[in-house]
Structure 1
Amino acid sequence: MGKGGQQVAEPQEVKDYTWTEVKKHQTKNDKWLVIEGDVYDITNWSRRHPGGSKVISHYAGQDATEAFRAFHNDLNFVKKYMKAIHIGRLNEEDEEPKSIQQDFEELRQTAQKMGLFKPSVTFFLLVVGHLICFEALAYVILYYFGNGWLPYLASLSCYVIVQAQAGWTQHDFGHLSVFSSSRLNHIMHLLLMNQTKGASSDWWNHMHYQHHAKPNIMNKDPDVRLDAILVVGKEMPKVVAQRKTFIPYNHQHKYFMFTLPPLLFPLYFQVMLFRHVIIRKLWVDLFWTCAFYVKFFALYTPLLGFASAFKYYFLMRTIESVWFVWVTQSNHIPMDIQFDEAKPWFSLQLSATCDIEKSYFNDWFTGHLNFQVEHHLFPTMPRHNLFRIAPLVKSMCEKHNIPYIVKPMSTAFIDIVRSLKTSGELWLHYREAYHMDSH
């Protein structure tokens, strides 16, 4: 009893759960996860998760501590909103040894002490500034020199650079690695992705955050759901070999050149991003996406005519697509692609990613995604600091006997084709074995 005879509420007893109990809750309509030893029921809340329902649901029945720390800059602010879904604690006696997790947490804290999560204002001003310059140059060349083949190619080259580099730059803002304010990052992300590139920032968040949460994990990473035209890794060929299909995957390393790189942006992405915003009724997102096309054709139709402006646009998208695919897939397709084994964050990211050698050209050409390992480990770290944490990541890999792979860019590109050839041959082997068994 309190003063004046008033009853004082007793503190609620925190319930203990075992991993066996937590792992039972990983279905669509029943999802629990663990963060820093606390158990949360995300079944209903996942639909309101700012990063999207799928990215958090991929950790249902698992420990999401490291993913939680990797994706959020201000952990204390986020934790305020988690109290309503907190249902208990993980039984301490049931916790598994976490030496690699502890080492990675120490590495993350070291990176913070080194100031590696602090962005350089000068760097990002120069990055955005060079986008503006190249976009202006693309128009000015055609305006002053006409549409002869030489100025046409020069203008097209400038516009391809704008689109590819804007892709790397929106990636920085999308990962909240530029401003301390999430709102400012989201505004710049929308402007770059929607108005500069003619894509959808919400669609990018929906797809890309899933990729980071579970890279190269089948049925969770959307980037390895390619079995319509490609099989990748060692496990997917086994699964696809059991299906009836007319696609000769054993030749995929040949037809890859003429499908995914040139067609991903001008065809597949164009359809999927508009489908996403229309189905979800994201009208603001749609408005800013359409603003790009209004701007583009308003500027270039008077210079080229509508048909030629459309051709210019299609060529630009095709070349940009080739640039994007070769860079992004060189870090992932040759690596392990598997089903979810609930690996620790560090092991998961290292098995799915590799680096490309550092040089001024490689840094610019890839938007610093040549440091893919470091970016996946620390997705909110500004890209200009990734090379500074790389030696410490390498040391941790040596301690835990985990391969740390760094390749020349040419080797990384060749390895895409090699891995596709190997996966295609595996598909043929399993298809023949399955066919023989069925008879």
Structure 2
Amino acid sequence: MAMEGEKRRYITSAELRGHNTPGDLWISIQGKVYDVTRWVKDHPGGDIPLLNLAGQDVTDAFVAYHPATTWTLLDRFFIGYLADYRVSAVSKDYRRLVAEFARLGLFDKKGHGVLFSLIFMSFIFLVSVSGVLLSTDASVHLISGLLMGLLWIQSGFLGHDSGHYNVMISPGFNRLMQILSGNCLTGISIGWWKRNHNAHHIACNSLDFDPDVQHIPLFAVSSKFFNSLTSYFYERKLAFNSVARFLVSYQHWTFYPVMCVARVNLFAQSALLLLSKKKKVPGRWQEIVGCTIFWIWYPLLLSALPNWTERAMFVAANFAVTGIQHVQFCLNHFSASVYVGQPRGNDWFEKQTMGTLDILCSPWMDWFHGGLQFQVEHHLFPRLPRCHLRRISPYVEELCRKHRLPYTAASFWDANLRTIATLRTAALQARDLTKPVPKNLVWEAVNTHG
């Protein structure tokens, strides 16, 4: 920090933008500029959030992801002041809302939802395993398979929450919960999920930066993918070739069947990351051991079934049920606004609200959606425990109305219709590339019937 009487160093936004590479990375937070080049590799949230927002003011993203205790840690990276620092009216209101929720203690009050989830999950696991080991009835085995799928869904919700905030009493126990609920119970790397999910939150619905909308060659939510965009997350071109064109042309028919087996991709992505020598994975060996445990107990459970037909039935039931969760992930974003390009730190609130969609449901159905039904609220306040999302939704809706921003919400049924309509629109465009691309794909999707 500058000593009293020492001349302050002022840095312009243009100069800040020039420091946007892994070897020279500056960011600005609330009018101060920080050189975080050496911190990138040690950043708890991974390198992707910093790389994606390099050379920008990142105040809103920082406020969203970090508690007040982290502000003091910034001093060691301080190098000067942003000369032309400005705050939009939307950002001012957003930051006031974050401060108000912090004052009320909402970020720290987790309720008893995690305890209830753990009890529910333990019960389902025991019933499912008992059904396989203690019964010879094929219908009981089928029910056990369906219950195992339900268990994986609830485990996914818990793993999601534990990646955003401490669901347990300490970071150590939180990490243990992540390994147990993710790696050991479902075979999915929590490290892979955090890397993927952080990139998604920072670059919500950016076609070339958000991995959650990059599903070429199977799906394309926008005709912009027909230009073979480069994925900055996967570090490769998303080639729109003849195979991709054929698959995308029928994506509105294949969407649900693919979702039923989407977990295979999660297994593969987890293995690729954990075995990669280029990517840094905190606690890599913990994760590998956890996934190994899954690939021991799950095949052993399958081997207890009397024949291959029932084993296939059990696995199919697992995957079909968890397909519901994969559909849920897509409903929140596939029919929302998309864009091409690097995410920007000065329109955080706008991009999060435009790229997300809430699911309308009664409180008694919250267990089914696991907090994903309040996707707008979750994207704006990712550290907020899910038990508070319903409570804060009126404040978010009011702020959107004040600044004339979209606050999109639909029933589970309507959200499915919107998603299929979006996929159908892009599918029809893929079949005939000679026709001009519509200016507003979301409008076309909502107004397409048949």
TM-score of the pair, normalised by structure 2: 0.86
Contact 2:332 2:375 in 1 (8 A): yes
2:38 pairs with 1:44: yes
Matched residue type, 1:225:
Q
2:203 pairs with 1:214: yes
2:120 aligned residue (130, 154, 160): 130
Aligned to 1:264: 262
2:108 pairs with 1:118: yes
2:373 pairs with 1:370: yes
Distance 1:252 1:395, change over 3 A: same
Contact 2:142 2:313 in 1 (8 A): no
1:183 aligned residue (172, 178, 184): 172
CA distance in 1, matches of 2:193, 2:292: 16
Distance 1:415 1:310, change over 3 A: same
2:32 pairs with 1:31: no
Matches within 5 A, 1:377-396: 377-396=380-399
Matched residue type, 1:289:
C
2:68 pairs with 1:79: no
Aligned to 2:447: none
Matched residue type, 1:187:
L
Distance 1:432 1:127, change over 3 A: same
Counterpart of 1:279 in 2: which secondary structure?
Answer: coil
1:405 aligned residue (408, 412, 421): 408
Contact 1:237 1:423 in 2 (8 A): no
Distance 1:429 1:300, change over 3 A: closer
Aligned to 1:3: none
RMSD of aligned residue pairs (Cα, Å): 2.5
CA distance in 2, matches of 1:105, 1:180: 27
Answer with 131-140 or 318-327: which moved more.
318-327
Aligned to 2:352: 349
CA distance in 1, matches of 2:311, 2:7: 65
2:98 pairs with 1:98: no
Contact 2:336 2:354 in 1 (8 A): yes
> Following TM superposition, by how much is the alpha carbon of 1:418 offset from its aligned partner in structure 2, in angstroms?
0.4
2:13 pairs with 1:16: no
Contact 1:199 1:273 in 2 (8 A): yes
Aligned-residue sequence identity (percent) comes to 26
> Following TM superposition, by how much is the alpha carbon of 1:275 offset from its aligned partner in structure 2, in angstroms?
1.1
Counterpart of 2:207 in 1: which secondary structure?
Answer: coil
> Following TM superposition, by how much is the alpha carbon of 1:304 offset from its aligned partner in structure 2, in angstroms?
3.9
> Following TM superposition, by how much is the alpha carbon of 1:144 offset from its aligned partner in structure 2, in angstroms?
2.8
Matched residue type, 1:254:
W
CA distance in 1, matches of 2:320, 2:130: 21
Aligned to 1:5: none
Counterpart of 2:339 in 1: which secondary structure?
Answer: coil
> Following TM superposition, by how much is the alpha carbon of 1:322 offset from its aligned partner in structure 2, in angstroms?
1.4
Cα offsets for 1:325-353 (capped at 9, x unmatched): 21111010000111235252211110110
Contact 2:142 2:314 in 1 (8 A): no
CA distance in 2, matches of 1:192, 1:133: 14
CA distance in 2, matches of 1:296, 1:171: 22
Cα offsets for 1:104-127 (capped at 9, x unmatched): 011112222333223344221111
Aligned to 1:89: 81
CA distance in 2, matches of 1:176, 1:242: 36
Cα offsets for 1:267-319 (capped at 9, x unmatched): x11111011011147222100111122223334423446x5685356324421
Counterpart of 2:188 in 1: which secondary structure?
Answer: coil
Unmatched tracts of structure 2, length 5 or more = 230-237, 438-450
2:98 aligned residue (66, 84, 108): 108
Answer with 191-200 or 107-116: which moved more.
107-116
> Following TM superposition, by how much is the alpha carbon of 1:203 offset from its aligned partner in structure 2, in angstroms?
0.9
Contact 1:216 1:352 in 2 (8 A): yes
> Following TM superposition, by how much is the alpha carbon of 1:368 offset from its aligned partner in structure 2, in angstroms?
1.9
Contact 2:28 2:56 in 1 (8 A): yes
Distance 1:43 1:113, change over 3 A: closer
Matched residue type, 2:93:
D
TM-score of the pair, normalised by structure 1: 0.88
CA distance in 1, matches of 2:128, 2:169: 33
2:194 aligned residue (205, 227, 252): 205
Counterpart of 2:287 in 1: which secondary structure?
Answer: helix
2:215 aligned residue (208, 215, 226): 226
Contact 1:40 1:86 in 2 (8 A): yes
Cα offsets for 1:114-162 (capped at 9, x unmatched): 332233442211111100000001012233332x221012111211111
Counterpart of 1:235 in 2: which secondary structure?
Answer: helix
Aligned to 1:296: 298
Distance 1:393 1:301, change over 3 A: same
Matches within 5 A, 1:140-289: 140-146=130-136, 148-179=137-168, 181-233=170-222, 235-239=224-228, 244-246=241-243, 247-248=245-246, 249-259=248-258, 261-266=259-264, 268-280=265-277, 282-289=284-291
Answer with 12-21 or 309-318: which moved more.
309-318
Cα offsets for 1:184-229 (capped at 9, x unmatched): 3222112211112111111111111111111111222111222222
Distance 1:426 1:126, change over 3 A: same
Q: What count of residue pairs does the alignment treat as equivalent?
A: 418
CA distance in 2, matches of 1:341, 1:284: 32
CA distance in 2, matches of 1:10, 1:165: 55
Q: Select the structure of larger CA radius of gyration.
A: 1
CA distance in 2, matches of 1:82, 1:312: 54
> Following TM superposition, by how much is the alpha carbon of 1:237 offset from its aligned partner in structure 2, in angstroms?
4.0
Aligned to 2:334: 333
Contact 1:35 1:65 in 2 (8 A): yes
